[in-house]
Chains A and B, each alone.
Chain A
Amino acid sequence: MVAMNPARTGPAAEPASHRRALAGLVVVIAYLVLTWFVAQASLSVQSVILVAAVFAVLAISLDLVAGMLGLYSLGQGGFFGIGAYMTTILSSRYGWDVFLLLPAVLAVTGLAGAIVGAMSLRVSGLYFAITTFIVTLVLTVLETNLEITGGLQGLLGPAFPDLPEALAPLGAPVAWCIMLALLFCIGLVWNIRRSALYPVLLSIRDAEPFAEAAGARTALIKVGVFSLSAAMAGGAGWLFSFLGVVSPGQFDWSVSLNVLVMVLVGGINTTLGPIVGAMFVSMFPVLVNINPWLQEILYGALSIAAIALLPEGVIGLGRRLFLGRRGIAAPVAHGDAPPPEAVAAGDPSIEQVDAAKAPAAPRASGEVVLECRGIECGYGLGPKVLKGVDLAVRRGEIHGLIGPNGSGKSTLANVIAGRLGPSAGTVTVRGQRVNGLPPSSRARMGLRRTFQAAELVRELTTTQNVTVGLYDRVPGIVRRAALWPMLPSGRRDGAMMRGRARDALGAVGAAGWTGERVGDVPHGIEQLTQLAAVCIAGPDILILDEPATGLSAREVAHLARILADLRRQGVTMVIIEHQTRFLFPLCDQVTVLNLGEVILTGTADEVRANPTVRQVYLGE
């Protein structure tokens, strides 16, 4: 099967990728021709276009964090300012070479971004926006009040070095530099959008627990991407310094907000949106040549109208107009398609990737691989949700966890997976104490889990969501992201991941839904997508939180077969479930929780016969 994957996608993929490369080449050549015209244009036209291009870089830098990670940074203006001032001061006052300054600027702003990011990740959402806003505010104050920055008047930026004599016919060198930098940034973000990191980034944005449970160190990734974004904004500042005077008003908080206007008006999380937005915002005063106050009023009104009427931006609108409303014809037939009978739960090739972690063990006789001892846990000041819970799961067994709603089952799952820290007690995995380890580290130990309410990215397809599950199984996803579609290894791994994700979806019985966005599938398919995303990683220990909720009777029966198959492969499982008819036949052991305490652990028959359990459920 491993060998078959590329073979199957190969012949179809090759011409398509050639066509895509050719189309890319045409676009790049057209862009270079455009640049040539810009470089030859009159100074006034040129400066309008170049300012727009610098702002486009800035907008792309914001879209990178806001669009893909949901971090609405209002610090872009501040980083932009650092880049511009650093270039201007070091080159004109200390005579540094401007080209040597570029890497220095990128490093300094990137580092500043990492520091600000690490600090403001303590807070999220709105408070992240506010904290970064204040960074810009403080930087503007410094720029205004420091001696070296020339106060409110600012400084005259350095002149861009001339091209060698031979290249003079190309036109203004600064135009080439800015336009090529923009092309580079577009390419970088375009690559990331097509990399295997993209679904991971969106899942950090929309479903962080899911990303963590797949092994992603989400805090580190956020800081890293924010640092990249800050460096990009700093680079924009470097470019901007060649366009004239550098003064505080050009980098204050209103610039940060205007960059956000560009991104939102153009279309967030799109490649072209930030560029369209930047052109609109920066060219607006030039194109609408009326009374300056009236012009500003019109600008304010237009930005309100754009946000209210085009929530997906201009590009989103265009997409809807040209591509039509995709997927309106619901694939009703999918739900009725019988799941494939030959079930290979989890791709067999998983064992090849992770052979060491999933040895084929004899069922339910092995050592204890997962143990909770004396777990106590509560939320805030409220009463304890778990009171001295003990749980021991042997290798290769399926351990059922039942109990009424509110008895603490999901809380226990969260404690085992590392999302909640217990106030007392220990959790051990294969004899190793894991208290204090984050969910991502536990995922890397082969401990995977699903969520009661599916945590998935609604705007991505089920297949893309499932590939997130491979995050820690495919090396170098983060490292290669910036060049992914250009690297043969990236294309190969991308195709392999998609292929395996489709296979995993097929194996759990969702073969008909591989191309659908999660927002467009019924609840049961979301559950199966979650299951596929954990199975694809070849887990050693699985924690399933109500996997049968929302599934039809036939899907439940199929799920039971999948789980039995997984056990045969030696996977240890803890399954939280209410549907005992489905659960009991599967289980080696069942633990009953009520009001945060373990009532009983025993075989399914013992649990069925136990009077206390009957009382809890039936009040008998």
Chain B
Amino acid sequence: MSTAATHALDIAGLNAGYGRFDVIRDIALRVGKGEAVGLLGPNGAGKTTVLRSVMGLIRQRRGTIRVAGTDVVAMAPFRIARGLAAMAPEGRRLFLDQTVEDNLLLGGLHLRRDAARQERLLASVYELFPVLKGYRRRLSAALSGGEQQMVAIGRMLMSDPEIMLLDEPSVALSPVAVDIVVRALIELRKRGASILLVEQRIDVATRVCDRLYIMTHGEVVEEMTPDTARGAGMSLINKYLG
């Protein structure tokens, strides 16, 4: 088996941005199959830009982005979304005028002809977040922040992607809700999901991830284990995150 195929996500030499200046430069990072990897860094470091580049939402991108061996750097987002990558974006961005279950079903569009698989995925989402099952007919706009985040993660799961991209799922959530989200991510990792998690909170990242990358100023500057990060504690915050 080639090395490329053993990685869920393999980014090399990635530059991406909007105007004349690239926001991220020469990014290289890997997420193995079944691995959970954290991407930490201060606001403005370019973490979200990395996720958006993988998803194809930034046109101006150069380098290689391989998802399970397929180079997606020239692909349109709606093709990347068909089983390769899926994201739970910053700010959740649910389809607020639709029900919880519709949001989930829209997550797995490319599986619409495979009802059995979709049914299984839906069941697994409700198993992960039992509270959503009771809300399935409710408008997603009527949910609390934590519940919306669960829908966003569930929507991501519905496409059964090779790599899951999560952008700060802990933002603006109460400690209880953060805990539910973290437990869900740990459960996903146990089920063998490959995860790239952008976080600002070290505690969330260290609990979920096998490996951490630190980004500042559009570059990946360090790679460490969760234990090192935990050990570094406040000094890591002082050094990079604030």
Contact check, B19 vs A520: say whether CB atoms are below 8 A apart.
yes
Q: Is the CB of A519 within 8 A of B20?
A: yes
Q: Indicate if A522 sits at the interface (CB-CB under 8 A).
A: yes
Which residues in window 23-70 of B have CB below 8 A to A? 23, 42-44
Q: Is the interface of B mostly helix, strand, loop or mixed?
A: loop
Choose among B20, B170, B174, B201 the residue that contacts A330 (Cβ–Cβ < 8 A): B20
C-alpha gap A279/B21 in the complex (Å): 39
Is A340 interfacial (CB-CB < 8 Å)? no
B242→A577 contact, CB < 8 A: yes
List of A residues within 8 angstroms of B170 by Cβ: 404
List residues of chain B with CB within 8 A of the CB of A521.
Answer: 21
Inter-chain contacts of A520 with B (CB < 8 A): 19-20
Partner of B21, one of A523, A552, A580, A581: A523
Contact yes or no, B237 A405, CB < 8 A = no
Answer yes or no: A444 CB below 8 A from chain B CBs. no
- Identify which of B172, B201, B202, B217 contacts A550 (C-beta below 8 A): B217
Q: Cβ of B130 < 8 Å from any Cβ of A? A: no
* Residue A406 lies at the interface, judged by CB distance under 8 Å to chain B: yes
Q: Does A404 contact B200, Cβ atoms closer than 8 Å?
A: yes
Q: A382 — which chain B residues lie within 8 A by C-beta? A: 145
Instruction: Verify B43–A552 contact, CB threshold 8 A.
Output: no
Answer whether residue A397 sits at the interface, using C-beta atoms and an 8 A cutoff. Answer: no
Query: B241 an interface residue at 8 Å Cβ cutoff?
Result: yes
Query: Could you tell me the distance between the alpha carbons of A407 and B168 in the complex, rounded to whole angstroms?
Result: 13
Say whether A595 contacts B44, CB under 8 Å: no
Contact with B along A516-560 (1 / 0, CB 8 A): 000111110000000000000000000000100110100000000
Produce 1/0 per residue, B200-224, CB < 8 A to A: 1111100100000000010000000
Chain A residues with Cβ below 8 Å from B233 are: 618, 620
When the two chains form their complex, are residues B217 and A580 in contact, meaning their CB atoms are under 8 A apart? no
Q: Please, which residue of chain A has its CB at the minimum distance from the CB of B22?
A: A522
Residues of B within 8 A of A579 (CB): 42, 241-242
Is B74 positioned at the interface, with any CB of A under 8 Å from its CB? no
- Which of chain A's residues have a CB closer than 8 A to the CB of B93? none
Contact (Cβ within 8 A) B44 A383 = no
**Chain B nearest CB, measured from A470 CB (Å):** 27
Q: Nearest Cβ distance between residue B138 and chain A, in whole angstroms?
A: 14
For window 578-620 of A, CB contacts with B under 8 Å fall at 578-583, 595, 608, 614, 617-620
Is B171 close to A, CB under 8 A?
yes
B43 touches A578 (CB 8 A): yes
- Taking the closest CB of chain B, its distance from the CB of A384, in whole angstroms, is 11
A555, B190: Cα distance in complex, Å: 43
Whole-angstrom distance between the Cβ of A409 and the nearest chain B Cβ: 11
Minimum CB–CB distance for B172 against chain A, Å: 3
Residues on the B chain within 8 Å of A405, using CB: 43, 168, 171-172, 200
Set B144, B168, B203: member contacting A618, Cβ < 8 A: B203
Does B234 make an interface contact (CB < 8 A)? yes
User: Within the assembled complex, what's the spacing in Å between the Cα atoms of A383 and B145?
Assistant: 8
Question: In the complex, how many angstroms separate the beta carbon of A379 from the nearest chain B beta carbon?
Answer: 11
- Is B2's beta carbon under 8 Å from chain A? no
Q: A383: which of B144, B171, B239 is its contact (CB, 8 Å)?
A: B144
| Contact residue among A519, A583, A595, A618 (Cβ-Cβ distance under 8 Å from B202) | A618
B238 CB within 8 Å of chain A: yes
Min CB distance B239 to A, Å, is 7
| A549 and B21 contact, CB distance less than 8 A | no
**Given A614-B234, A618-B233, A619-B201, also A523-B172 (CB < 8 A):** no
| Chain B residue nearest to A619 in the complex (CB) | B203
Q: How far is the CB of A238 from chain B (nearest CB, A)?
A: 45
Most buried by A among B144, B171, B217, B242: B242
| A549–B42 CB distance below 8 A | yes
Q: Which of A367-416 contact B (CB under 8 A)?
A: 381-383, 402, 404-407
Among residues of A, the one whose C-beta sits closest to the C-beta of B90 is A405
Cβ–Cβ < 8 Å partners of B239 in chain A: 581
Query: Which residues of the partner chain B approach A580 to less than 8 Å between Cβ atoms?
Result: 237-238, 242
Docked Cα-Cα span, A2 to B151, in Å, equals: 60
Contact between chains at B168 and A578 (CB < 8 Å): no
3 closest residue pairs by CB, A with B: A619-B203, A406-B172, A578-B242
Enumerate 22 A-B pairs (CB-CB under 8 Å) in ascending A order.
A404-B170, A404-B171, A405-B168, A405-B171, A405-B172, A406-B171, A406-B172, A406-B173, A549-B42, A549-B43, A577-B242, A578-B42, A578-B200, A578-B241, A579-B42, A580-B242, A581-B239, A595-B172, A595-B174, A617-B203, A617-B237, A618-B237
Other than the given A404-B200, A519-B20, A580-B237, 6 more pairs (CB < 8 A) read: A406-B171, A523-B23, A578-B42, A581-B242, A608-B234, A617-B203
